[in-house]
Amino acid sequence: MTIRITHNQEILARKFFEIGVFQRKKNSPDGKGFRLVYHEENPDLPLSPFYFNFRTKDNPKTGPLDQETLAIVGKELALLILDAGITADYISGVPNAGDPIAKALCQTIKDSSSYPPFLVKPNYIQLIKHEKEGKREGVSVNNESIEIIESGGLVLLVDDLITKAHSKMKAIEKLEEVGLEVFDILVIIDRMQGGAEDLMKAGHRVSSIYTVHDLIYFYYREGLLSNKEYDEISRYLEIF
Tens-digit pLDDT profile for residues 42-91: 788 899 999 999 999 999 889 999 999 999 999 999 999 999 999 999 99
Q: How many separate domains does the chain show?
A: 1
Q: Which pLDDT score is estimated for 199?
A: 97
**Short-list 80, 41, 46, CA closest to 189:** 80
pLDDT in tens, 113-154: 877 889 999 999 999 988 665 556 578 898 887 778 888 999
| H helical segments located in the chain | 7-19, 67-84, 98-110, 143-146, 166-177, 195-201, 212-221, 227-238
Q: Which pLDDT score is estimated for 113?
A: 83
Does the pLDDT of residue 181 top 80, yes or no?
Answer: yes
Q: What percent of the chain has pLDDT over 90?
A: 77
Q: Which pLDDT score is estimated for 41?
A: 78
Between CA 139 and CA 162 the distance in angstroms is: 17
Q: Is 124 left (phi over 0), alpha (psi -120 to 50) or beta?
A: beta
Q: Which pLDDT score is estimated for 129?
A: 87
Judge whether 86 lies within some domain. yes
Of residues 132 and 230, which shows the higher confidence score?
230
Judge whether 54 lies within some domain. no
* Cut 0.85: pTM above it: yes
Judge whether 37 lies within some domain. no
Does the pLDDT of residue 28 top 70, yes or no?
Answer: yes
Q: Which pLDDT score is estimated for 149?
A: 87
Q: Which pLDDT score is estimated for 213?
A: 94
pLDDT in tens, 191-221: 999 999 999 999 999 999 999 999 999 999 9
Judge whether 28 lies within some domain. no
Judge whether 18 lies within some domain. no
CB-neighbour burial class of residue 218 (10 A; exposed 0-12, middle 13-18, buried 19+) = buried
pLDDT band for position 167 (50/70/90)? very high
Judge whether 156 lies within some domain. yes
Range of the domain at 169: 66-238
CATH code of the domain in which 129 resides? 3.40.50.2020
Taking all residues of the chain, what is their mean pLDDT, rounded to a whole number?
A: 92
Q: Helices 98-110 and 67-84 sit at what angle, rounded to 10 degrees?
A: 70
Between CA 42 and CA 175 the distance in angstroms is: 27
Judge whether 33 lies within some domain. no
Judge whether 26 lies within some domain. no
pLDDT band for position 11 (50/70/90)? very high
